[in-house]
Structure 1
């Protein structure tokens, strides 16, 4: 019952032609649709719902909304009541309000980010079909990413003013949407300030993450690849296409994943990510990283944080 996984992310882009080239030819997403407002819909070849990424033309970059898929339509009724009981305003939208989706719930997380929940989206099937499938389809472009894996959202954090939207968003995800806290970073004089969290509903190390910063925003959204060699190949593809690489290829201590971070032409940060890391079983103890080991947790090999990695990001609303 409840949330199953990430469904899609909607981001704003400054130059649609450049963005489409990036997401189709560098990442290897497949074009799914285009609407009358100029929004482009894409998906990974290993996804079966119609789309997982929406590109919206705009004069600024950043996230419009993020959406998660629930197991059944009846779950929406239960979750709507739980969200309202928590004190968060929630709207129920008619089928089609989210393109190609059934009815949905719309609300803002305590961090300020806009989230949707839905149960139904138009089914199109994997590019390799479901009967006697090949391990990958012919004609893949660029990195050939499998699916949209997760997103990391920046939350306002100012302990001196008593503001910790990381902790507030995390509590909401745990208590209302039944996400499991898998990892966290604790900081502050007493080591009790929750400055970053990773949460899961599936068996992966995280389906969403929150990190504290000076303002709310979108840090990155990530796409899954099979293995380390695929991450290295994605770096080659980026170099061939003069994509701005932020960090990597390297390994995370947190989640144990192998990674490379880079920017789309509008400045939205992407990630190609591989490695299950571990199974996020319901009874797994929470993994905690202390303030003195944050660098090792984020970039395990060097143990050093790139300052821009935590200060450069796009808007979250």
Structure 2
């Protein structure tokens, strides 16, 4: 089976305790570990592995790496060969290099983003357990998000110079990691330039996405909620906590997701995302959004791209 799902994302923050407060009180995660270097490890209530978000102190916001979990340890050896055959160097990292994680396969995506694959992480169980569980736990904080759902990475794009890291990443994820494409945004003559690409390795509309920009970076990390009502409640939580909201509650055309975008105290964009949209399957035709409908693909209700949405990122 290979890749199963996103496992964790490690991000840089400029005020560690302010970030912890944000991800606890606004998003709804809880701290599960602090290491000797000061990094903070957090999880959502409906996740069973030890952590899904890692906060590290830095003088600049952004992403350190993203990690995806594979089904079996042997998958790491198979994928190492496939990745290197594609022309990307890899490194097998010893178990324990990250707390509670087995050995990992590290490499750099064509876009320049750092990525890890791993098969083992300590299982601590969800907050409702695995025997006769309640539908949700008592004592939820903030938005009460269920799990880390996906991330969207910005990739360098300069058609005049023949640079399109969105297309390169897409080819790598499909040909090597066995993802499949669910949706795309195309621009240029006859839609020849792939501006955005959404990829899945499950039945979700996307497990990762790429959008073209001036430079590589992190656009957002996204957390799953059940419903539109939960999205509205999340917005209330953000307003009560004076959080900087980027895009008020709305719907995407892409993925059909219900969404709100906001920033953590360091400027890393977050999303709460509700509704699975549709069941993604490998034989489902790829949905294409054309250049004249690009605004609608992101913000379905207004059809207008929010100012700074694709130019402001970490």
1:261: which partner in 2? 261
2:90: which partner in 1? 90
Query: In structure 2, the residue corresponding to 1:46 is in which secondary structure?
Result: coil
Q: Write the deviation string for residues 273-302 of structure 1: whole angstroms up to 9, x where unpaired.
A: 000001111111100000000000000000
1:272: which partner in 2? 272
Cα distance in 1 for residues equivalent to 2:171 and 2:108 = 14
Q: How does 1:1-317 map to 2 (within 5 A)?
A: 1-314=1-314
Query: In structure 2, the residue corresponding to 1:18 is in which secondary structure?
Result: helix
Q: Offset at 1:202? A: 1.2
Cα distance in 2 for residues equivalent to 1:201 and 1:32 = 27
Q: Offset at 1:248? A: 1.9
Cα distance in 2 for residues equivalent to 1:189 and 1:4 = 36
Q: Write the deviation string for residues 159-188 of structure 1: whole angstroms up to 9, x where unpaired.
A: 001000000011000000000100001111
Give the length in aligned residue pairs: 314
Q: Offset at 1:99? A: 1.8
Cα distance in 2 for residues equivalent to 1:164 and 1:131 = 48
Cα distance in 2 for residues equivalent to 1:71 and 1:173 = 17
Structure 1, unmatched stretches of 5+, are: none
Cα distance in 2 for residues equivalent to 1:271 and 1:191 = 28
- So what's the TM-score if we normalise by structure 2? 0.99
- So what's the TM-score if we normalise by structure 1? 0.98
Cα distance in 1 for residues equivalent to 2:190 and 2:157 = 16
Q: Offset at 1:98? A: 2.2
Query: In structure 2, the residue corresponding to 1:308 is in which secondary structure?
Result: coil
Query: In structure 2, the residue corresponding to 1:117 is in which secondary structure?
Result: strand
Cα distance in 1 for residues equivalent to 2:259 and 2:202 = 20
Cα distance in 2 for residues equivalent to 1:259 and 1:128 = 26
Query: In structure 2, the residue corresponding to 1:177 is in which secondary structure?
Result: coil
CA RMSD of aligned residues (A): 0.5
Q: Offset at 1:190? A: 2.4
Q: Write the deviation string for residues 49-104 of structure 1: whole angstroms up to 9, x where unpaired.
A: 00000000111100000000000001011000000100000000110112211111
Cα distance in 1 for residues equivalent to 2:277 and 2:91 = 36
Cα distance in 1 for residues equivalent to 2:222 and 2:260 = 10
Q: Offset at 1:307? A: 2.7
Query: In structure 2, the residue corresponding to 1:77 is in which secondary structure?
Result: helix
Cα distance in 2 for residues equivalent to 1:116 and 1:256 = 29
Cα distance in 2 for residues equivalent to 1:25 and 1:175 = 40
